[in-house]
Amino acid sequence: MQTRSASVVVATLLAGVGLAQAASGIPRFYGDAPDDHHPWAVHDPNRPQPPVVTPGTFSSADHPGRPPSDAQVLFDGTDLSQWESTKGGPARWLVQDGILQVTATGDIRTRAQFGDCQLHVEWAAPQVVKGDSQGRGNSGIFLMGRCEIQVLDSYHNLTYADGHAAALYGVNPPLVNALRPPGEFQIYDIVFRRPLYDGDRVVDPGHVTVFVNGVLVQDHTTLEGPTGHMVRARPQPFPAKGPLELQDHGNPVRYRNIWIRELPPRAVEGGTDGPLSTAATLAKRRQIAAGLRADAQQLADPAHPLPELLRLMESLEYEADPPTLQRVETLATAYVGSLQNVPTDQLPARRDEVRQVRDAFRFLTRFHLLPTTFGPKVTLDQFIRDHGLDRRR
């Protein structure tokens, strides 16, 4: 799969993404301004708020936990409706007492397909130990049907290092062997990011992180392409999505509590968080500025120009728009001029408001979004000094 071109990324950023409801009670002109790779200011109140997810509960060897609220449950102990045989037709593994067990009928895969994800899988090797090395409690979890995270009874069981439980099979051994005894359920938590290509160029090789029973065993391990038995993985593009597969290796391995959370796109493929390309950043900044200017139009009121003025000044953080700059100068000049008519005894009540405008001017000049000689700023600075509005109360 190729990553989207810059023009497609820009279009994605502009399409269907509205301006987030701004956080209230947070200074508008505060952290470092947006730059060529970050569309948001530091501590930007316009940045979208993270979605709220109700966390689940942790699993133990004896009891499965509850998935988080945004997880897609792939097996909840009741049926195999979300699975099929990799040979075609329905999955024929045994479901009994809330457990899914391999039955020597072949590998199974999800009907739905997934790309980047957080995956939770719980499995148990047979309590009665039979065989050794790769012949003992063997199964596997294939991400996108391509990259195997090994399932194996590695408890006091020697085998080749890159074939132990939680190995990226044939590529990278686990950092440690954190398995419980056979018969007890093992808990895998996996974070998977597929490889990204732009033509033949690797944009991101892809990575996998794995926790076993709460212990980190794959630490952002680089993918080297699809895994296989006795063959070295070869870097290559992946499709956008693929099925999750569980392997039938002839051992009656049991599974329970399988759920998945799809992850948002990375910055390099059009996501809006993290360092973006210059083209994507500028596109997002234009979008934010346009939303702020539209908001300012709704706030326009000749009798109360300050809300419109502040919103337009905010928009200049994201895009230097000449008509907006001219409108800001007009409104700012009128606002500063109006202060001259405020009776002296009423100025203390306007102190916070005046300082807010002054701080906005300072922010915009600091980041060269307004010239340091901007007339209303110079006049307002002098007005504050003349009336002692900068003194502490």
Dihedral-angle region of residue 274 (phi above 0 means left; psi in -120 to 50 means alpha; beta otherwise):
left
Which of 249, 245, 240, 239 has its CA nearest to residue 258? Answer: 245
Do 243 and 332 fall within a single domain?
no
Do 195 and 289 fall within a single domain?
no
Residue 78 burial (CB count, 10 A): 9
pLDDT in tens, 300-352: 999 899 999 999 999 999 999 999 999 999 999 999 999 999 999 999 999 99
Do 257 and 281 fall within a single domain?
no
Q: Residue 108 above 70 pLDDT?
A: yes
Do 262 and 291 fall within a single domain?
no
Cα–Cα distance for residue pair 23/43, rounded to 1 Å: 10
Confidence grade of residue 393 (pLDDT, cut at 50, 70, 90): low
Residue 20 lies in a domain: yes
Share of the chain above pLDDT 90, in %: 84
Residue 274 C-alpha from the chain's centroid: 9
Q: How far, in Å, are 125, 213, 249, 316 from residue 253 at the CA level?
A: 5, 17, 9, 60
Cα–Cα distance for residue pair 137/11, rounded to 1 Å: 49
Cα torsion for 364, 368, 373, 378, to the nearest 10°?
20
Query: Do 28 and 314 contact (CB within 8 A), yes or no?
Result: yes
pLDDT in tens, 204-218: 999 999 999 999 999
Confidence grade of residue 273 (pLDDT, cut at 50, 70, 90): confident
State the residue range of the domain holding 337. Answer: 6-48+274-386
Query: Do 161 and 167 contact (CB within 8 A), yes or no?
Result: yes
* Interval 46-61 mean pLDDT: 94
pLDDT in tens, 144-164: 999 999 999 999 999 999 999
User: What is the DSSP-derived secondary structure letter of residue 180?
Assistant: P
In the chain, the N- to C-terminal Cα span, in Å, equals: 63
Return the higher-pLDDT residue of 188 and 392.
188
Whole-number pLDDT of residue 18: 41
Which of 254, 269, 284 represents a domain boundary (last residue)?
Answer: 269
Tally of structural domains, the chain: 2
Cα–Cα distance for residue pair 64/152, rounded to 1 Å: 20
Whole-number pLDDT of residue 270: 80
Residue 56 lies in a domain: no
Whole-number pLDDT of residue 84: 97
* Residue 156 burial (C-beta neighbours within 10 Å; 0-12, 13-18, 19+): exposed
Establish how many alpha carbons lie within 13 A of residue 63's alpha carbon, considering only the half-sphere containing its beta carbon.
4
Do 194 and 283 fall within a single domain?
no
Which of 204, 210, 193, 197 has its CA nearest to residue 275? Answer: 204
Do 218 and 308 fall within a single domain?
no
Which of 75, 187, 59, 214 has its CA nearest to residue 123? Answer: 187
Which of 241, 269, 297 represents a domain boundary (last residue)?
Answer: 269
Q: Residue 2 above 80 pLDDT?
A: no
Do 256 and 115 fall within a single domain?
yes
Output the average pLDDT for the chain: 91
Q: Residue 12 above 50 pLDDT?
A: no
Do 87 and 224 fall within a single domain?
yes
Whole-number pLDDT of residue 390: 83
Whole-number pLDDT of residue 269: 86
**Residue burial 321-357, b: 16+ Cβ < 10 Å; e: rest:** beebbebbeebbeebbeebeeeeeeebeeebeebeeb
Question: Where is average pLDDT lowest: 81-85, 96-100, 230-234?
Answer: 230-234
Whole-number pLDDT of residue 176: 98
- Please name the residue ranges forming H helices in 40-180: none
pTM above 0.85, yes or no: yes
Residue 173 lies in a domain: yes
Long-range contacts from 31-36, C-beta under 8 angstroms, 24+ separation: 32/367, 33/317, 33/363, 33/367, 33/369, 34/281, 34/285, 34/317, 34/318, 35/281, 36/278, 36/281, 36/282
Whole-number pLDDT of residue 109: 98
pLDDT in tens, 23-52: 666 788 999 999 999 999 999 999 999 999
